[in-house]
Amino acid sequence: MRILFIGDIVSQAGRSITQRNLKDLVNKHEIDFVIANGENVAHGKGITEKLYKELLSYGIDVVTLGNHFLLASESLNVLERSENLVRPLNIHSSIPGSGSKVFECKGKKIRVTNLLGKVFINDLNPSNPFDAIDEVLKESNEAIHFVDFHAEATAEKLSLGWYLDGKVSAVIGTHTHVPTADERILPQGTAYLTDVGMTGPYDGIIGTRRDLVIHKQRTGLPVKFDIQEGDAQFNACVIDIDDETGKAKEIFRININRDR
C-alpha cells in the first residue's frame, strides 16, 4: 500500500497546484491512497463543503484537519455530512465528526487518525494526545494505521512518534507549514516525519503575506493577516506500507516549487 500525504493545503494557490500535479504524482509513484490536510483550504481559514468536495474531485481520498478548521462559518455542518473527513480526535466530544475512521482500498482497511498537540496550541483545548490514541488502539485491529499529528512543538511530535513506534504505520506531522528533512523508519516499523510542510503560497511566510507578518514581528501590533499572492509550492510525502504487517518499508518527501 502506497500512501501519498499532502501537507496543509492553503487557499487557492494550494488547491491549484494540487489539482495540477496530483494525477501525475499518483501515476509516477504508483499511489493507492491519498490523504491531505485541508484545515486551511478556505483562504487559509477553515474548510467549506464546496471546497471539501473540490479536494475529493482531484483524487484525494481523505481530508484531515487541525486547530483552525472551525474558522470557516460552515465547518461544523461539513463535519456532520462528510464521510471522508477526519477531524482532530482529542477535542470536545460535542463537536461533530470523528477523529479516527477506517477506509477501504484494494480490499485492505486503512485507519486514519487525526490528533492535535497540546504544546503551544491554544485552540479547541485539546486533551492528551497520547491517552486519546491509546483508546483508539485498544479497539482497533487494522494493520495499516496512518496518524496526522497536527502540532507545533517538534519535541512533542518526536515523542508521539517514538511512543507509537510499532503500534501504527506512520506518524506524520502537520501545522507549522515548514517541511522538515528528518523522514525515517523507526526501529519497530513506523514511518516518521516531523512536518510534511505546506501546499500553498511559496513566497509568503507560512502562506501569509510577508509584509503583514514582518510588521507584526517588528512592532508587536495586531495585524489582520491575508494570503500571499504569487507562485505556489507543493509539499507531501509517500509512505510504502506492507499490507499484511502494517510496517512501513519506505518514506520519502515530495517538494515542488519554481526552484525545484
Question: Looking at the annotation, which residues are catalytic?
Answer: 68
**195 is written with which cell numbers?**
512536518
Contact criterion met (CB below 8 Å) for 176 and 152: yes
Cα 183 from chain centroid (whole Å): 15
Separation of alpha carbons 78 and 85, rounded Å: 8
Distance of alpha carbon 194 from alpha carbon 162, whole angstroms: 11
Ranges assigned E (strand) in the chain: 2-6, 8-9, 33-37, 62-64, 85-86, 100-105, 108-116, 144-150, 170-174, 184-185, 191-193, 198-201, 232-241, 248-256
The type of residue at 51 is: L
For the residues of 148-166, what is the DSSP string, one character each?
Answer: EEE-S-HHHHHHHHHHTBT
